């Protein structure tokens, strides 16, 4: 039986936790555990309190200890999986979710299946077939009512773009150029918005006939009815799995044609989606059987972007003043898997004196930095060669590229927005031809920009290329100074051309539907 002092501390910790005072709660849980480390409720509470402030490294430790005391506490595996995922332990996260799906109650099972569908493309242990099955399993569980019958298209085809990030300028550079370029004489646009509304700051040009829908808080059932009543011809998903709760809308078939574009790096899993938009570099014909939808390809990159907001000037190559080459990545921590850490470590070890700079939101928390640093140390990279920083205001965040000579891509889930931002700031991004769609998004962008020399055939070639550039960095100055202009003049920034290609696909899909 726990001592009275430990029970008192646990009671106080629970009180603080319920009041959402997570940091003091965590400290009280730790004090209780110092007196009695067999208190399941204290480990449980500590894990949840730490998870609430994104201290994923410490959350993993706490919840694993709780599960050793109570292996039947299956619901904890969902939270453990979330923290494992946040730090790039994707295979381990999926193992926890699969256990929860087998052993949990209905709610726990549904959460586990949903989360597996979201993160499956980033798991190095899964192949394309397994990714498709994971997404189909979740999509098939989403129930929907049939909306009213749609109209036949009139003179102007009605397109509904729905998404969550219309108000975020750094995300919308991947979408807004295309949306602005639409031919309003042939298409009537409806922007269906969760989150902040489109704005000039986020790149939107206000057209008088556009319709802006604020659907924050509207259920998928109700939204499907509104879309059907508005008689939209095409519904285009811009979220992908980044706003998974809205993906259930696709199950309703609220518009006669449903298309997934930009936010997808694998199949949606929904048989109600007619096609996904890709390109030849991102998804080859051999992988089409792993999509439940038809694959439609645009000529260059489906990720063409337009930088409409102010960004920092390009800085000189930092190696010239630092005296060493700095590799780096500003990509999210959940993409930094153990194989990535091993690969990046070989690169850093292969370039004498080089360092590695990482920055993302997760690295703002001490336990997350400690966990990442320990994994690099296990691969022979000590703390003196690492710089780990958390997030910040976007303009200041982009300034991080002033101190990076060469950006390294992740796998099997590569960059997209981070790739666009790095090359726009003059920093080479190195990648390779991966084994799935999610592993080829940087490849798609670099090839469209005419930067084929930074796309290796395989991982070994990627590492050799990075080491070669690192040991002979003299040419980086010329690359850095001219990169933005080269990218801006390339098909990667031809948002009008991408828009015309998409419009042709949209019209063809409408014609198929009514043939």
What would the DSSP string read from start to end of 214-247? E-TT--HHHHHHHHHHTT-SEEEE--GGGGGGGG
Could you report the per-residue pLDDT of 259-313, keeping only the tens digit for each? 999 888 999 999 999 999 999 999 999 999 999 999 999 999 999 999 998 999 9
Could you report the per-residue pLDDT of 380-414, keeping only the tens digit for each? 999 999 999 999 999 999 999 999 999 999 999 99
Q: Which CATH class for the 157-304+495-514 domain?
A: alpha beta
DSSP-based helix, strand, coil % in the chain, nearest 5: 55, 10, 35
Tokens encoding 235:
């519904």
- Asked whether 73 and 93 are in contact (CB, 8 A), the reply is no
Please give the model's pTM, rounded to 2 decimal places.
Answer: 0.95
Q: Taking CA 428 as the corner, what is the angle to CA 425 and CA 429, rounded to the nearest 5 degrees? A: 105
Tally of helices (H runs) and strands (E runs) in the chain:
20, 13
Residue spans of the domains in the chain: they are: 4-141, 157-304+495-514, 319-493
* Number of neighbours of residue 367 by Cβ within 10 angstroms: 20
* Number of neighbours of residue 290 by Cβ within 10 angstroms: 20
Query: With 0-12 CB in 10 A as exposed, 13-18 as middle and 19+ as buried, what is 35?
Result: middle
For domain 4-141, the CATH architecture is Alpha Horseshoe (1.25)
Q: How far is CA 376 from CA 125, 357, 461, 490, in A?
A: 21, 12, 21, 37
Q: Taking residues 465-477, what's their average pLDDT? A: 95
Share of the chain above pLDDT 70, in %: 100
For domain 319-493, the CATH architecture is 3-Layer(aba) Sandwich (3.40)
Question: Any bridge partners for residue 432, and if so which?
Answer: 456
Query: What is the predicted pLDDT for the residue at 1?
Result: 64
Q: How far is CA 270 from CA 147, 236, 260, in A?
A: 17, 13, 10
Question: Any bridge partners for residue 193, and if so which?
Answer: 163, 214
Q: What are residue 149's phi and psi, to 5 degrees?
A: -65, 145
Share of the chain above pLDDT 90, in %: 92
Q: Kindly list the strands in the beta sheet with 187-193, ordered across the sheet, starting from the edge strand earlier in the chain.
A: 211-214, 187-193, 157-163, 234-237, 257-260, 275-278, 294-297
Tokens encoding 5:
């002092």
* Number of neighbours of residue 422 by Cβ within 10 angstroms: 27
- How many whole angstroms separate alpha carbon 380 and alpha carbon 371? 15
Average pLDDT, the chain: 96
- Grade residue 54 by pLDDT with cuts at 50, 70 and 90: very high
- Asked whether 50 and 26 are in contact (CB, 8 A), the reply is yes
Q: Is the peptide bond before 485 cis (omega within 30 degrees of 0)?
A: no
Q: Taking residues 67-75, what's their average pLDDT? A: 97
Query: What is the predicted pLDDT for the residue at 390?
Result: 97
Could you report the per-residue pLDDT of 162-178, keeping only the tens digit for each? 999 999 888 889 999 99
> In CATH terms, are 4-141 and 157-304+495-514 the same topology?
no
């Amino acid at each position: 039986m726990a001592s009275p002092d430990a029970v008192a501390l646990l009671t106080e910790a629970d009180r603080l936790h319920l009041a959402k005072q997570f940091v003091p709660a965590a400290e009280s849980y730790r004090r209780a555990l110092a007196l009695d480390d067999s208190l399941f409720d204290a480990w449980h509470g500590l894990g949840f309190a730490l998870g609430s402030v994104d201290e994923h490294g410490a959350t993993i430790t706490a919840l694993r200890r709780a599960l050793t005391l109570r292996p039947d506490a299956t619901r904890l595996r969902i939270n453990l999986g979330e923290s494992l995922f946040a730090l790039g332990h994707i295979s381990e996260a999926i193992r926890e979710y699969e256990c929860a799906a087998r052993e949990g109650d209905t709610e726990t099972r549904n959460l586990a299946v949903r989360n597996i569908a979201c993160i499956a493309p980033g798991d190095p242990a899964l192949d394309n077939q397994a990714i498709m099955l994971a997404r189909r399993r979740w999509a098939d569980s989403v129930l929907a009512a049939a909306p009213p019958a749609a109209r036949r298209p009139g003179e102007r085809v009605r397109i509904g773009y729905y998404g969550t990030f219309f108000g975020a300028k750094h995300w919308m550079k991947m979408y807004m150029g295309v949306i602005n370029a639409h031919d309003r004489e042939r298409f009537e646009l409806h922007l269906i918005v969760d989150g902040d509304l489109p704005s000039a700051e986020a790149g939107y040009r206000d057209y008088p006939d556009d319709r802006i829908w604020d659907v924050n808080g509207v259920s998928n059932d109700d939204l499907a009815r509104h879309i059907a009543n508005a008689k939209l011809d095409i519904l285009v998903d811009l979220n992908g799995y980044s706003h998974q709760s809205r993906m259930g809308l696709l199950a309703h078939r609220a518009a006669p044609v449903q298309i997934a574009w930009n936010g997808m790096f694998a199949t949606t899993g929904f048989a109600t989606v007619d096609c996904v938009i890709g390109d030849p570099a991102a998804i080859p014909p051999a992988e089409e059987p792993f999509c439940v939808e038809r694959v439609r390809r645009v000529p260059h990159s489906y990720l063409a972007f337009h930088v409409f907001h102010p960004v920092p000037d390009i800085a000189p190559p930092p190696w010239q003043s630092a005296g060493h080459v700095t590799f780096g990545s500003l990509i999210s921590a959940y993409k930094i898997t153990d194989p990535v850490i091993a690969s990046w470590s070989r690169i850093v070890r292969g370039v004498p004196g080089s360092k590695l700079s990482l920055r993302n939101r997760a690295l703002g928390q001490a336990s997350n930095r400690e966990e990442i640093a320990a994994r690099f140390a296990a691969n022979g990279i000590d703390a003196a060669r690492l710089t780990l920083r958390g997030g910040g205001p976007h303009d200041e965040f982009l300034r991080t590229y002033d101190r990076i000579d060469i950006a390294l891509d992740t796998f099997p889930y590569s960059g997209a927005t981070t790739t666009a931002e790095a090359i726009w700031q003059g920093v080479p991004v190195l990648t390779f031809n991966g084994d799935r769609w999610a592993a080829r998004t940087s490849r798609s962008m670099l090839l469209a920009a005419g930067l084929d020399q930074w796309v290796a055939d395989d991982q070994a070639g990627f590492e050799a290329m990075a080491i070669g550039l690192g040991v002979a960095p003299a040419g980086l100055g010329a690359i850095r100074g001219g990169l933005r202009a080269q990218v801006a003049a390339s098909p990667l920034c031809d948002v009008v051309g991408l828009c015309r290609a998409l419009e042709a696909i949209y019209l063809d899909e409408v014609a198929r539907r009514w043939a």
